[in-house]
Amino acid sequence: PRRDPMFAVAAVPLHFYFWFAITFACIAIIAKGMSSTAKGLLSIILNELYGKMRSSTILREITRSIQGKPKAPKNLPHLVDFEQVSSRTYRVLGLNPGQHTLQGTNTWLITGLEGKTTEHILIDTGEDYSADEYIAQLFEKVFPRTGTTRLSKILLTHGHDDHQGGVLKILSELKARNMLPLPTIHKRNIVGGNFPVKGVVCEHINDLDTFQVGEETTLQACYTPGHTDDHVGFVLIEDHALLSGDCVLGCGTTVFDNLYEYMQSLKRIRQLIVDSNANTNKTVCKNINTIYPGHGPVIRDTALEKIDEYIHHRELREKQILDFLAQDLDTQNGHKSHIKYHPSWDIMNSMYSNLTWVIKVSAMHNVAHHLQKLQQEGK
């Protein structure tokens, strides 16, 4: 994920500064003389470049070779590498801190009640570049502590590299240690999707599918697209908790590929929390009050407040955009006639102050998604 500029202005890795420095220097020189149409076209180009570069594995590796081992942003709460968060759930840090991943990716080992079963489920797998360190922790510290003798399944919340990147190395280590049979890999498969799992066949996750760990621990899939097209959360029924992936973070906010779908997912989660006693959404969960996020600390007893905070934040940004556009309504004979054309770059500049040029590209990316959502809703 990346945090929204409202919460952090250093949420873009170093390679963006390198690739965009020359572009922004040119923009600074010529922008004043550009027409709105020209600036609009330039905004579209920059937005597309941002999306491509954000998902570039090669550029991330170049950045790491220059920067050395990534570090978590400053002023985040400390997270231990491994902790038990309930009687049946353990959080295992992916050991991949960074501007994208905050303290690192949270992976989740679902063990069921102690002594009931030794075949457990792992949710998400960390990132490829840190997989050796993560696997050492998983096999040498976590599995002995939890009594894990076999993984029956690996469930993936989505296909971003920091969540699926460790799959192949984990399978290889399981085979080398004769922890057989190997687990099946499960993910929401999207035909033509943006984030397929690399090098392994995944069984498709349907909305509301259930997964058992022993007889007294049940996970239920809950489609939550928006952050990515393939995003899935998991309700851990007995913990009254939602494993939210990157839909909801323990620190700050996340970015999204489709804001309309993302807002629908937030509202679905809110309905699960508010109406869980009534068994709405065809789920069997009750009293969801905790969120196990893909990054950051566990959100305990304040799940509803966190979701409302996310929804309000996005609605505030949308109102800022609509207010900006409303200022430019031409009035003829006392009636509104038409809205002047403005590229997302101009709108972003009206919303965010005191940002560096590079962070403004991230902000513009969010503005572009807001505009797409407004268009989908006919506003």
pLDDT for 123 = 98
Q: Token pair 């076999």 is at which residue? A: 150
Q: What angle in degrees, to the nearest 10, is found between the helix axes of 303-327 and 259-274?
A: 140
Same domain, 101 and 229: yes
Domain of residue 359: give its range. Answer: 313-329+341-377
Q: Is 285 helix (H, G, I), strand (E, B) or coil?
A: coil
Nearest to 290 by CA among 338, 258, 243, 247: 243
Same domain, 131 and 278: yes
Same domain, 44 and 104: no
Same domain, 131 and 89: yes
pLDDT for 144 = 96
Query: Model confidence at 5, in pLDDT bands (50, 70, 90)?
Result: very low
pLDDT of 45 over the 80 cut: no
- Structurally, the chain folds into a number of domains equal to 3
- Confirm whether 103 is domain-assigned: yes
Same domain, 103 and 226: yes
- Confirm whether 74 is domain-assigned: no
pLDDT for 16 = 47
pTM of the model: 0.80
CATH number for the domain spanning 172: value is 3.60.15.10
Task: Find the mean pLDDT for residues 280-288.
Answer: 59
- Confirm whether 141 is domain-assigned: yes
Distance, in Å, from the CA atom of 349 to the CA atom of 237, rounded to the nearest integer, reads: 44
Phi-psi region of 208 (alpha: psi -120 to 50; beta: other; left: phi over 0): left
Same domain, 296 and 360: no
pLDDT (tens digit per residue) in 355-365: 656 557 767 77
Same domain, 296 and 318: no
Same domain, 297 and 187: yes
Task: Find the mean pLDDT for residues 360-371.
Answer: 79
CA distances from 266 to 167, 261, 297, 300, 308 (A): 28, 9, 19, 17, 9
Q: In sequence order, what are the residues at sequence separation of 6 or more whose Cβ sits closer than 8 angstroms to the Cβ of residue 168?
A: 198, 199, 200
- Confirm whether 75 is domain-assigned: no
Same domain, 142 and 27: no
- Confirm whether 2 is domain-assigned: no
Q: pLDDT over 70 for what percent of the chain? A: 72
- Confirm whether 220 is domain-assigned: yes
pLDDT for 364 = 78
Same domain, 89 and 58: no
Domain C-terminal end among 5, 33, 67: 67
- Confirm whether 336 is domain-assigned: no
Query: Model confidence at 65, in pLDDT bands (50, 70, 90)?
Result: low
- Confirm whether 9 is domain-assigned: no
Query: Model confidence at 250, in pLDDT bands (50, 70, 90)?
Result: very high
Same domain, 308 and 318: no
Beta bridge partners of 329: 339
pLDDT (tens digit per residue) in 170-221: 999 999 999 999 999 999 999 988 888 888 999 999 999 999 999 899 999 9
